[in-house]
Each structure stands twice: as structure tokens, then as C-alpha cells.
Amino acid sequence: MPRSLWSGHIAFGLVNVPVRLVSAVRDKSIHFHMLSKDGSCRLRRKLYCPDTGEEFDFKDTSRGYEIAPDQYVIVREEEFEKFRPESGRTIDIQAFIDLKEVDPVYFDRTYYLLPGEGGAKGYRLLVEAMASQERVGVARFSMRQREHLAALRVMENRALALHTMHYADEIAPWSEMEGELALNAEVTKKETEMARQLIDSLTESFEPDRYHDRYREQLQELIEAKAHGEEIVTAPSGEEEAAPVYNIMEALKQSLEKSKPARQKSRQSGKTAKSTKRRRAS
């Protein structure tokens, strides 16, 4: 059974549905410890004053907000407590909306919502009602001393997912980027048509299993090989080449010619990866 990160209930109108929250994302990043150069000692960080060299324990620290170079406003722990949201147990749905209205830039982390004790019927009712209306619930809830904005949506007509969301003032406005958009660049009708053809030739259904973190996989293979005492020989990388200057129409034509065989190769690679995973699992 997956470990619950939070438990409570979904509230919409006067209806309460007991639920528990579990992570939908697994952190597969490879983490390293800092060691001495010969690997004989694991290194530790310390808190110290760079002016005096005096070391401090974490319990002897305070938090400050820099308002000018080397000038801070100190906020005490008891002052933080006044503003922290209560650790509530309610995912309060504020409204139901169409998912198409939400730009993906607002989404942060994804969790699964599972029915809590005694909540199976209410959970199923909410899933079926939201699925039939094709609606997403916009909600507020508190977790880890922070109030979150969230979107609740139905997955595969059988389960609820919760996406924590960024607030509007956390998103950098497009007005700050306008000077970088090259809107005055001239594009011909022929170039646009060729680009559309290239997009059409590369359009297909999304198959997430085809995509892998190649850097992480290669790094994991290196670690496993070194752990087994194998000698690792790495070919020296050449100097980075400057990006070539090319004719955009010629590049589009060549891309169209290469798109079909490249896509077939990519699909075959995805099938091979799936087959390898199945063999490893068995």
C-alpha cells in the first residue's frame, strides 16, 4: 500500500468524501554524497560566521529577509506561527472548470487521491459525475504549513489526480519576454507550409514509454559497473562545434526527407526498450 502523505476529505457543496493523498511521481534522480578526493571521508557542511569563524548550531539561528546589502529584517518563529495556515483536513473545491482553460504552466506536482475509510461510494460518485461533465475541480487545501491551490481531475474514468498549482503572481508575465520574441522576423508563405508539412509528418500519438532519461540510465550503468570493479574507458569528447549557418528552406526539405525513417527508428527503439524492461522484470 502506498504511503499516505496527507489524509482528510474532499468537500464540494455539503458533500464530504474521505480521501488520502499519495505521490504520483517517483524521484529517480541519482544522488551523490560529498567526499574527500580519495573517497576516505564523507564531508559535512557547517554554519559559521565568515567574519569571525565562529560556528553555530541550527537551534541558535534565525531567519532574515534581506532588504538591502547586508541589511536584514529578522522574523521570529512565533511570528511565522501567526500566519501559517492551519493543518486542515479539507480539500475545498471552489469551482469546477474546463481543463482546457488551464495553461500547463500553472501545474506543479502531481498526486493521486485514493478513497479513505468509508469513502468508496462518495469517491466513485465524484469520479463519475466529474467524468460525465468533463470538469476539473479547482480547490484549496493545506499541507506542510502552506496553503496550496490545486486542480482535481479524473484519470481514465476511474481515479482522481490532484495537481498542486502555482498562483498567478508566481508566473512570469509574457510582457517581460516581448523583447526576446523576434516578432519582426519575416517568414514566407512557402516556409510556413514546409514547416506545417514537417509537423504533420512528425505528428503521432504520445507514447511516454518511448522517452527515457538517457543521462540517468548511462550514469546508473557506470555506477553499477564501477561497483562490480569493471574498468571504465570513456572516449574523449571532441570540441563543441559552432552551429552551422544554413538555408531554412533547405533545412526544412532535408528534415521532411528524413522524418519518416527517423520516426520508424524511434518507434522501434521504444519497442526494444519495452521488451528489455519485460525481460528484466521476469
Q: Confirm whether 180 is domain-assigned.
A: no
Q: How far apart are CA 162 and CA 113, in angstroms?
A: 7
Same domain, 94 and 150: yes
For 142-178, letters b (16+ CB in 10 Å) and e give bbeeeebbbbbbbeeeeebbbbbbeeeeeeeeeeeee
pLDDT given at position 167 = 95
Q: Confirm whether 209 is domain-assigned.
A: no
pLDDT beyond 70 at 251: yes
- In the structure, what pLDDT confidence band is assigned to residue 260 with cuts at 50, 70 and 90? low
pLDDT beyond 80 at 19: yes
Q: Confirm whether 198 is domain-assigned.
A: yes
CATH number, residue 153 = 2.40.290.10
Q: How far apart are CA 238 and CA 263, in angstroms?
A: 28
Q: What is the pLDDT of residues 169-209, one digit of tens each?
A: 999 988 888 777 777 778 889 989 988 998 898 888 989 89
Residue 118 main-chain phi, psi, to 5 deg: 75, 10
pLDDT given at position 266 = 58
Within the chain, where are the H helices? Answer: 77-83, 120-133, 189-201, 214-227, 248-281
Same domain, 132 and 259: no
Same domain, 270 and 152: no
Same domain, 141 and 14: yes
Same domain, 155 and 96: yes
pLDDT given at position 87 = 62
When pLDDT is averaged across residues 134-140 and rounded to a whole number, the result is 95
pLDDT given at position 273 = 54
As for how many domains the chain has, the answer is: 2
Query: Strands 15-23 and 6-12, how do they pair?
Result: antiparallel
Same domain, 157 and 92: yes
For residue 130, which amino acid is it? Answer: M
Q: How far apart are CA 223 and CA 174, in angstroms?
A: 43
Give the domain range for residue 270.
Answer: 189-202+249-274
Same domain, 261 and 153: no
- In the structure, what pLDDT confidence band is assigned to residue 264 with cuts at 50, 70 and 90? low
Residue 198 main-chain phi, psi, to 5 deg: -65, -45
Q: Confirm whether 225 is domain-assigned.
A: no
Q: What is the DSSP string of 148-191?
A: EEEEEEEETTTEEEEEEE--GGGSPPGGGTGGGS-TT----HHH
Using alpha carbons only, give the angle 228, 279, 223 rounded to the nearest 5 degrees. 25
- In the structure, what pLDDT confidence band is assigned to residue 108 with cuts at 50, 70 and 90? very high
Task: Quote the cell numbers at residue 208.
Answer: 511516454
- In the structure, what pLDDT confidence band is assigned to residue 279 with cuts at 50, 70 and 90? low
Q: Confirm whether 33 is domain-assigned.
A: no
Same domain, 138 and 267: no
- In the structure, what pLDDT confidence band is assigned to residue 254 with cuts at 50, 70 and 90? confident
Same domain, 116 and 162: yes
- In the structure, what pLDDT confidence band is assigned to residue 270 with cuts at 50, 70 and 90? low
Q: What is the pLDDT of residues 32-83, one digit of tens each?
A: 999 999 889 999 889 999 999 999 998 899 999 999 999 999 999 888 888 7
Please choose, from the candidates 4, 229, 207, the residue with its C-alpha nearest in 3D space to the C-alpha of residue 119: 4
Q: How many angstroms separate the most distant Cα atoms in the chain?
A: 69
pLDDT given at position 78 = 87
What is the dihedral angle through the alpha carbons of 273, 277, 279, 281, rounded to the nearest 10 degrees? Answer: 180
Q: Confirm whether 101 is domain-assigned.
A: yes
Q: Confirm whether 150 is domain-assigned.
A: yes
Please choose, from the candidates 204, 100, 113, 209, the residue with its C-alpha nearest in 3D space to the C-alpha of residue 155: 113
At 216, is the secondary structure helix, strand, or coil?
A: helix
pLDDT beyond 90 at 161: yes
Out of 6-10, 16-20, 232-236, 274-278, which region has the weakest mean confidence (pLDDT)?
Answer: 274-278
Q: Confirm whether 232 is domain-assigned.
A: no
For residue 45, which amino acid is it? Answer: R
* pTM for this predicted structure: 0.74
Same domain, 160 and 91: yes
3-state helix, strand, coil in the chain (%, to 5): 35, 25, 35
Same domain, 163 and 253: no
Percentage of the chain lying above the pLDDT 90 cut: 48
* Average pLDDT of the chain, as a whole number: 85
- In the structure, what pLDDT confidence band is assigned to residue 155 with cuts at 50, 70 and 90? very high
Q: What is the pLDDT of residues 209-250, one digit of tens each?
A: 998 989 899 889 888 888 888 766 665 655 555 555 457 778
Q: How far apart are CA 235 and CA 171, in angstroms?
A: 42
Same domain, 124 and 264: no
